[in-house]
Structure 1
């Protein structure tokens, strides 16, 4: 009788665990993907702002900065908020704040007000990625973290595609002033849903099996001591600078492809405007595929050696960029093949390097500093998205499109070396006791 009761209790607990795993995964995926519905419209309506509101290209560039700069910087400054109030509350409230900041965008005609609203939007969204990452990872065992988070990471790329399509549809049917209103209304409800459904294991009293135990320290303590963790404390942790540099390199490469590839295809390879626009999504489609599959490859073929596997995949992205440049005159098939390769092996590692890897690194010391560390790594990397525009513009003006590709190849190679260095540091520091990332 007791054995039967124990079996029934175990089955019930496993059923509850599966329910929360699915609900948190789905809720987090949809909610984070929706954040792009309040990022992508700015690129869609730039031509309208220039034509109807007489904004100069310089002012349009400053609007980009208003959104992207606080997104990068505030991840590093506000990171401890998620560790203090919890992933569910922080993520849900930030989604709602992001929506409220942009819901009235179309009702103003002032550059200054638009700048302020975009700044608030970037600040609110800065805490979405660190907290959704911590919230999702908390529900899965260490043995499948890369696989599950690789699948989850597709939300960042699918969200970008969906956000653009929605903005284009609203612009065409309701005018540019409504491109933020409808998505913002929807995101308010998604934020409320997140507050309800994005539960964490400690909130519902579930112990997730297969998770390596970590030494628990009081909330607000330092990474390895009793003081409140500071950004400098986190930065001084082994491997965090190397992982941050790798994320920086990968994000510069990715956003360069997003922002400049259509113009390159049009001017350098003589694609038509329509073909350039369609082909430019190949890199992003590769990103969705790579994010979904690379996590599974790491868990199967690089178990206990995540950083080594990631470094190998980043190297493949570098090779893809080299082959794309060398075969650029060979036609659409080869262009598509190597750009898809570059995108797949850039995006998949990027998602893991600013998600599972920093979480695992810091959780060995203090599980309550995970959100801050993820914010630090992703925030440092996101600085690259803020500065790639002026840098690429200057390089192409001085050295042409070839110079741009040399820079992208160099940055991708640097990302490979930085990841390998992090892996070697981990093996040296942790060789006697652990194999959770680098192995022995």
Structure 2
């Protein structure tokens, strides 16, 4: 079946297929929520940790960035490991490690153990996104992947909405240790859910959890074959890195990641510097902005995009229209640096955050559309590696521009330039969203 089009599914037959795949989407979404709560807790606890350990802002910056060192560097190998071993076991080990990292953070009595705990957290959480992308590719037909990805990625945005007040309550009422104990407990809860409830489609079918009808619908809709054979890890990575489509997708997704990190790390600071709001009030405005983003992501990138794909069968055209339109909308963040009213700034930032959120399901669902059979994890690892390596620079570049100019306007303009480059990557560089041919099979040497 061609990647460019799929057969439309009549509305009247949807109820016959079963809902197991949506239970899987819910499990992936809860995992992403816990995943990002693990990242919010440190930012909220930062002032108390600095007081407790009597460390400088520069030392705290090392602690804050330690997670990304291991997380970003492991994206390339972890994707190939997922393709070889499978989503289920890799995530079991990963979630266990990030639970251990949370409890180790709570028990840390000094800077050294805290840094080690954050490095371990990066190792544990490294498989989460590539594994989820591969799981969605195996569990969902092409015309439902937008909604499935919205459930998954929208949960990370909800962590921004709910995580800040929860962590703030725990830190202010008890201590900063309580925030990490909370995430450790929720991590163990997710580990139990994942361990007992997640299966691949074929395993779920064999256990009787998944009906034959739903399984056939998933496969007929273009789901990835979970039994596809891959070549050696390095060969697969090298092959995909030489493909133009890989770089079109990776750089396009990196533009979103850069802009997202700018808002994630600098939004409270921008509101305080530009409008003089305190932490509590700034947190309220931040919640509004991310809540708008979550709603837009689910309604537009999820339901609307999937129905459009199902009705027309145009996988490439629909995703490209959604991507270009959403990234153009995300350029609204540039306007926030030039307004005098905080209400108008929130409007511009809400539109921009919504545009970014809408672009994620359209962009990340392309991974399973263009990756060769059996290489979705490898492709996801490459895309997430490139995106995070570029995204890591976002807080630094933004801080340099603000220090140099004394304003966020220039930083937001630079973010707009990055987003414009992302539009070009998604359109001109990526090209048609069709599956890349698999790597050629290596023939054994005569001596072998």
2:386, 2:26 → 1: CA distance? 28
1:211 aligns with 2:217: no
Are the aligned partners of 1:76 and 1:375 in contact in 2 as well (CA < 8 Å)? yes
Question: Of 360, 365, 373, which residue of structure 2 is paired with 1:356?
Answer: 365
Question: Of 327, 331, 339, which residue of structure 2 is paired with 1:314?
Answer: 327
The range that moved more, 19-28 or 97-106, is: 19-28
1:159, 1:17 → 2: CA distance? 31
C-alpha spacing 1:216/1:267, structure 2 compared with 1 (3 Å)? closer
The range that moved more, 144-153 or 119-128, is: 144-153
Aligned equivalent of 2:420: 413
1:380, 1:95 → 2: CA distance? 23
> SS at the partner of 1:239?
helix
The range that moved more, 396-405 or 159-168, is: 159-168
1:191, 1:16 → 2: CA distance? 31
Aligned equivalent of 1:9: none
2:361, 2:116 → 1: CA distance? 29
Question: Of 306, 313, 337, which residue of structure 1 is paired with 2:347?
Answer: 337
CA-CA distance at 1:256 after TM superposition: 1.0
Aligned length: 406
Are the aligned partners of 1:38 and 1:99 in contact in 2 as well (CA < 8 Å)? no
Find runs of 4+ consecutive structure 1 residues off by over 6 angstroms: 213-217
C-alpha spacing 1:281/1:17, structure 2 compared with 1 (3 Å)? same
> SS at the partner of 1:18?
coil
C-alpha spacing 1:54/1:372, structure 2 compared with 1 (3 Å)? same
CA-CA distance at 1:377 after TM superposition: 0.6
Are the aligned partners of 2:72 and 2:385 in contact in 1 as well (CA < 8 Å)? yes
2:22, 2:308 → 1: CA distance? 25
2:234, 2:202 → 1: CA distance? 22
Aligned equivalent of 1:75: 75
> SS at the partner of 1:109?
coil
Aligned equivalent of 1:285: 291
CA-CA distance at 1:263 after TM superposition: 2.0
1:375, 1:42 → 2: CA distance? 25
Aligned equivalent of 1:249: 255
1:214, 1:99 → 2: CA distance? 30
Are the aligned partners of 1:105 and 1:117 in contact in 2 as well (CA < 8 Å)? yes
Q: What's the CA shift string for 1:347-398, capped at 9, x where partnerless?
A: 2213432x31111110xx32x1101211211221122332222211111111
Aligned positions of 1:5-404 closer than 5 A: 18-205=18-205, 206=212, 207-209=215-217, 210-212=220-222, 218-221=228-231, 229-293=235-299, 294-301=301-308, 303-304=314-315, 305=317, 306-318=319-331, 320-326=332-338, 328-329=339-340, 331-353=341-363, 355-362=364-371, 365-366=372-373, 368-401=374-407, 402-404=409-411
2:40, 2:276 → 1: CA distance? 27
C-alpha spacing 1:118/1:255, structure 2 compared with 1 (3 Å)? same
> SS at the partner of 2:425?
helix
Give the aligned CA root-mean-square deviation in angstroms. Answer: 2.6
Aligned equivalent of 1:6: none
CA-CA distance at 1:42 after TM superposition: 0.8
2:168, 2:287 → 1: CA distance? 15
Task: Provide the TM-score with structure 2 as the length reference.
Answer: 0.83
2:18, 2:196 → 1: CA distance? 17
1:139, 1:216 → 2: CA distance? 10
Q: What's the CA shift string for 1:197-234, capped at 9, x where partnerless?
A: 11111212353413227688753326xxxx86442222
CA-CA distance at 1:272 after TM superposition: 4.7
1:85, 1:242 → 2: CA distance? 27
The range that moved more, 14-23 or 128-137, is: 14-23
2:257, 2:223 → 1: CA distance? 32
Q: What's the CA shift string for 1:273-294, capped at 9, x where partnerless?
A: 5433322334322321232122
Q: What's the CA shift string for 1:218-257, capped at 9, x where partnerless?
A: 53326xxxx8644222222231112111222211111111
Gap runs ≥5 in structure 2:
1-13, 206-211, 438-448
Are the aligned partners of 2:369 and 2:433 in contact in 1 as well (CA < 8 Å)? no
Are the aligned partners of 1:102 and 1:181 in contact in 2 as well (CA < 8 Å)? yes
CA-CA distance at 1:423 after TM superposition: 4.8
Are the aligned partners of 2:136 and 2:145 in contact in 1 as well (CA < 8 Å)? no
C-alpha spacing 1:59/1:143, structure 2 compared with 1 (3 Å)? same
Aligned equivalent of 2:8: none
C-alpha spacing 1:271/1:82, structure 2 compared with 1 (3 Å)? same
Gap runs ≥5 in structure 1:
1-13, 431-440
